[in-house]
Amino acid sequence: MNLSVESEALEDYRLAYEFFSEQSFEYADHFQRCIEEDLAKLEKFYGFHPIKHGFHRVLSDKFQTNLYYDLTSEAIRVVAILDQRFSPQRIKEILTSRISKS
């Protein structure tokens, strides 16, 4: 199955990367590698993760980050890459807005 990272998820990733870059380049680089590893694992193991706010949720192995995705007949669509420290209400609002775009 193909893995597709939607534009909003790429923007989530970009914002997180910028945040970690302000801490240090090494930390941002580590974040990038970890998210890439998480996405590679998702390509192999998908569909069994718990559903939260209409999307499957994967916890990143090394960062406080969640990857949210759904499945189509052709692809695993990553729709959000969000910091777990966001308020539950903020996460719900973001994901609800992305359900309507699905």
Over range 8-36, report the average pLDDT.
Answer: 96
pTM of the model: 0.93
Q: What is the 3-state secondary structure (H, E, C) of 84-95?
A: CCCCHHHHHHHH
- Residue 41 confidence (pLDDT): 96
- Residue 50 confidence (pLDDT): 97
CATH, domain range 2-99: 3.30.2310.20
Q: At what angle do helices 7-23 and 25-44 cross, to 10 degrees?
A: 150
Q: Which residue ranges make up each domain of the chain?
A: 2-99
pLDDT, tens only, 40-94 = 999 999 999 999 999 999 999 889 999 999 999 999 999 999 999 999 999 999 9
What 3-state DSSP class applies to 52?
Answer: strand
Q: What confidence tier does 100 reach under pLDDT thresholds 50, 70, 90?
A: low
Report which of 76, 66, 72 is spatially closest to residue 16, judged by C-alpha positions.
66
Q: Are 98 and 81 a contacting pair, CB within 8 Å?
A: no
